[in-house]
Structure 1
Amino acid sequence: MSHAEQPPEQNLGHNLRQLRKERGWSLDRAASETGVSKAMLGQIERGESSPTLATLWKLAGGFHRSMSSLIEPAAGQTGKIRSADRLRQQPTQDQMLVAPLFPFDPQFGFELFELTLLPGYQRESEPHEPGVIEHVMVIEGTMELLLEGQWRPLQQGEAIRFAADQPHGYRNLGDKPAVFHNLIHYPAQP
């Protein structure tokens, strides 16, 4: 089984181990940088534990990487068709399905996900790094987005762009899944 075909927790564990090795970080240093306990980091690296989405974002922030770079190998060459149906996975404990349609590529400065919020799902997100902008486009169902302390309803076909370096959140209070595209743009790194 190739790295790209491994279960999500194996991809995450492999990618996390590689990032630590590239930086020469011990588990202690990685725990200090990410705010994720040393024990949890070890479990994730060994594929013994599936983190929450909040933990996944802490890891991404601590390593100064995109979320997609933790769960998915780079998309590679242009002109290759990527199917959400084949890519869709549940990489965390959360009731959210994630299809990394275009994992982060520094050449373009963004990552694009298809996200599915299962009925009853709610998550409030910590602010991302300064300058991160999210673009949310609802493609199926209805959902709500938390911005500036208020939940805003979004219907199928509606889209919004917002500064993600502030608290924000996503929820689906309906009885059917809500599916949306989320394009996350990162500022250029010096």
Structure 2
Amino acid sequence: MQPDKSVGENLRQLRKEKGWSLDVAAKATGVSKAMLGQIERGESSPTVAKLWQIASGFNTSFSRFIAPPGREILESMFRDAAELRQESLNQGFFVSLLFPFEQTLGFEIFEISLAPHYQHQSEPHNLGVTEHILCISGEMAVLFADQWHPLKPGQAVRFNAHQPHGYKNLGTEQAVFHNVIHYPSNP
């Protein structure tokens, strides 16, 4: 798997904006200085879980690392999930960043596809972060409050994401869902 250089460039830019050394960033995120350096240099690609850990430590949105910086002015946008889909962060976990985080809105929207029987577990996000899951196709389940909650197409759930949570495909065909992640303020 080829490392994604934009993740490293975005990490370096955010670290410089905050005025943090690699040591400070390592303490804030719980990710080693060596690993952060490798990501910044494009020598290593973090998993989704590791990238979330870094985003939480920086108190920023997940999309801040995988999208160009947001614009000041809210504009109309047309997006195609098929053109945006990436699997570079986890095998079997296809992420399409439909709308990156914009400060004026306070949320980001992803379309996520799970390979058959694939399961992904996430560490808790920062306090106040909520996720809104809408199942588009396939059968899936969402883990929160220490139990799996099944969803069929057209069904949705919202939960506080500052707890361990996850997503799994319950079927033999790809499961697709939209994930709206809302941040309380200043991610």
Q: Indicate the percent of aligned positions where both proteins have the same amino acid.
A: 57
Counterpart of 1:90 in structure 2 is 87
* SS of structure 2 residue aligned to 1:139: strand
* SS of structure 1 residue aligned to 2:100: strand
Counterpart of 2:175 in structure 1 is 178
Amino acid at match of 2:173: K
Alignment map for 1:10-49 (pairs within 5 Å): 10-49=5-44
The equivalent position to 1:55 in structure 2, one of 44, 47, 50, is 50
After superposition, the C-alpha distances for 1:93-142 in whole angstroms (9 at most, x for unaligned) are: 34211111110011001000001111232122222111111110011111
Counterpart of 2:128 in structure 1 is 131
Aligned equivalents of 1:136, 1:99: Cα separation in 2: 14
Amino acid at match of 1:26: S
Aligned equivalents of 1:59, 1:92: Cα separation in 2: 14
Give the TM-score taking structure 1 as reference length.
Answer: 0.90
Aligned equivalents of 2:67, 2:80: Cα separation in 1: 14
**RMSD (CA atoms):** 1.8
Query: What 5-or-longer segments of structure 2 have no aligned partner?
Result: none
Give the TM-score taking structure 2 as reference length.
Answer: 0.91
Aligned equivalents of 1:189, 1:75: Cα separation in 2: 13
Amino acid at match of 1:165: H
Alignment map for 1:136-175 (pairs within 5 Å): 136-175=133-172
